[in-house]
Amino acid sequence: MAIVLALLLPLVSMPRLVPTTIRAAEPAVLDVTTSYEVRRSQRRRLEQRPREASLPPIPAGKITERLDRYLRGRSGPVAAMVKELQTGRVYRYHPRERLITASTAKVQILMALLLDTPWKQLPAAVRHDADLMIRYSDNHAADRLWLSIGGAAGFTRAGKKLGLRHTQGVPGECVDLYCWAITRTSVEDQIRLMQALVSGKSPLRAEDREKVLDLMGRVVDGQDWGISAATCKGERAALKNGWLRRVSDKRWAMISVGLIRGDGRDYAVAVLTEGSPEVGQGIETVEGVAERIMRDFRRCSE
């Protein structure tokens, strides 16, 4: 079955962030110091609250209506999610959908590799493949790294370590090794993956997280579409996009996942689509969805 699926889903290349010691004999000083520290800690918390409390709740119903209108007449399923990582504010659109990753699976492949071996300890040839895989979306480099992580089993094992719940590697001997491209995933899992790139609780080392984000922030021209269209001035995007055409109906799966970062905020964003008749329309759909969600998370200054 994996062979048949892979034959139906070939990949198509597309051009184009000491208190002073207190002696036991001086309990009064200890009490004063403790009281002062408590008051200072409480003041800090109060000072930090207004910014968070002033943020409006996400109008989920309003966004959903907006997306429904925009997507009316466009073919294929769409799933999307945005999470503001500092506050936990979140919006989900059709989160139960399970759609293919296409080349966005390459981020998980690299993270699986780094869970076992730090970037600095990887051979030069492997680091070169990682650069090609993320920045240029090179499929042959992805094939080599897929084998190096142990294929589907290693991919799935890494996903579990990273907190993914709905993303399983496709086992079997796949044509051209493109099993990773037909991996089905959820927007929830893609957001969890992005969180693992910025969270101090991530199983990935801090320097390795930064390396992945660095590569995602420097994708080549022509592959920087997608969630980047939803950035405001002063924000930056670290992303990985995917595109894949089904031989059976010539329809495209277009995907964009990543982080929008700026002004001390990190937004994890995932937009998964299938069924676009052409690449251009698929890109337009992905970007339109991302823009229509992000406008209710913050306002862009002119």
Please report which confidence band the pLDDT of residue 132 belongs to, taking 50, 70 and 90 as the band edges. very high
Q: Is 261 a domain residue?
A: yes
pLDDT reading at 257 higher than 80: yes
Looking at the DSSP bridge assignments, the partners of residue 260 are 237, 267
Please report which confidence band the pLDDT of residue 173 belongs to, taking 50, 70 and 90 as the band edges. low
Average pLDDT across the chain, whole number: 85
pLDDT reading at 223 higher than 90: yes
d(CA 297, CA 294): 5
Q: What percentage of the chain carries pLDDT values higher than 90?
A: 75
Place of tokens 């139960």: 96
d(CA 55, CA 181): 38
- Please give the residue that has the higher pLDDT: either 53 or 243: 243
pTM equals 0.82
Q: Is 28 a domain residue?
A: no
Q: Is 31 a domain residue?
A: no
pLDDT, position 26: 33
pLDDT, position 3: 38
Please report which confidence band the pLDDT of residue 146 belongs to, taking 50, 70 and 90 as the band edges. very high
Q: Is 302 a domain residue?
A: no
pLDDT, position 239: 98
**Burial readout 63-87 (b: 16 or more C-beta within 10 A, e: otherwise):** beebbeeebeebebebbbbbbbbee
Q: Is 36 a domain residue?
A: no
CATH, residue 88: 3.40.710.10
**Burial readout 264-298 (b: 16 or more C-beta within 10 A, e: otherwise):** eebbbbbbbbbbbeebebbbbbbbbbbebbbebbb
pLDDT tens-digit readout, 21-38: 323 333 333 333 344 444
Q: Is 238 a domain residue?
A: yes
Q: Is 29 a domain residue?
A: no
Q: Is 264 a domain residue?
A: yes
pLDDT tens-digit readout, 51-98: 455 788 999 999 999 999 999 999 899 999 999 999 999 999 999 999
Domain count of the fold of the chain: 1
What range defines the domain where residue 88 resides? 2-17+47-294
pLDDT reading at 208 higher than 80: yes
Looking at the DSSP bridge assignments, the partners of residue 60 are none
pLDDT (mean) for 283-292: 98
Phi then psi dihedrals of residue 264, to 5 deg: 70, 10
pLDDT (mean) for 228-240: 97
Q: What percentage of the chain carries pLDDT values higher than 70?
A: 80
